[in-house]
Amino acid sequence: MRNVLAIAGKEIRSYFSSPIAYVIIGFFALVFGYFYWVLLAYFVRAGMQMQPMGPQALNINEQMIRPVLSNMTVVILFVMPLITMRTYAEEKRSGTIELLLTAPVTDLQIILGKFLGALGLYAVMLAVTLVHMGILFIYGSPEWKPLAMAYLGLLLLGGSFVSLGLFISSLTKNQIVAGMITFAVFLLFWVASWIGSISSGGWVSDVATYVSIIDHFDDFSKGVLDTKHLVYYLSFIGFGLYLTAKSVDTERWRG
């Protein structure tokens, strides 16, 4: 475990030793702040118009927090390739992959370390948004359990993207190529449910709906913890790491 944490720490430091982490976090915080401000203003106006109906007429979790977090999943689709594209591609380009593969660590430790490092940067991105949520708790009364479930869903969604991004990055030495392919693959998993909706139904629609990575987040955004969605994301993460392990093993034998 110590080796995994050491590699994860090295990955996080490498992000913050360059402008990458600051640009990504700044962009994410800026877009989140915009959606937060727009939807909060709309919620306040709607609350004033419905004031005669009583304070329970609107639910801040449903009418404000859930739309904000759902909109941010689109931003995550664009941001995650920027986080994962360099994980292995940069090591190959700079020639440090040979040193890493010959170090006294296992492939699994390397993969888990890089996974936790990228996921750590993503967690920092999410943590920045908690400041906005804290303001809602100070001046309002949102329910914390649905909010916690929504953030758990976002973390699992990001973990799925990271695991797949690691695999794609391990296939090339070019960060730009890795980023573009990663975005394209992410997009395919994103629009899978659209394919199901335009199909004639049957098993094609069922498979497309199940494969869609964003459909499984919907219940999390409602504050519902369904084991089938939990199993989907954990299986997705496990499969992505498995593919990465096979790719790294192939690289080791080539070396």
pLDDT tens column, 195-244? 656 655 666 667 777 888 888 888 898 888 889 999 999 999 999 999 99
Rounded to an integer, the average pLDDT of 109-137 is 91
pLDDT of amino acid 253: 65
pLDDT at 204: 65
Q: Is the pLDDT reported for residue 52 higher than 60?
A: no
DSSP category for residue 64: I
CA distances from residue 34 to 28, 46, 151, 158, 178 in whole angstroms, order as listed? 10, 18, 19, 21, 29
Indicate the pTM of the whole model: 0.88
Neighbouring residues of 6: CB distance < 8 A, sequence distance ≥ 6: 113
End-to-end Cα separation, the chain, in angstroms: 26
**Per-residue pLDDT at 115:** 93
Residues 166, 11: contact at Cβ < 8 Å? no
The candidate with the shortest Cα–Cα distance to 135, out of 119, 123, 147, 125, is 147
Contact call for residues 236 and 115 (beta carbons, < 8 A): no
Cβ atoms of residues 169 and 178 within 8 Å? yes
Helix (H/G/I), strand (E/B), else coil: 125: helix
More confident residue, 38 or 204: 38
DSSP strands (E only) in 137-191? none
- Residue 55 pLDDT > 60, yes or no? no
- 177, with CB counted inside 10 A (0-12, 13-18, 19+), is middle
Q: What residues contact residue 172 under an 8 Å CB cut-off, 6+ apart?
A: 89, 92, 178, 181
Query: 155-177, pLDDT tens digit by residue?
Result: 999 999 999 999 998 888 888 89
Average pLDDT over residues 98-104: 70
Strand, helix or coil for residue 142: coil
User: Count of H helices and E strands in the chain?
Assistant: 13, 0
Q: Residue 70: pLDDT above 70? A: yes
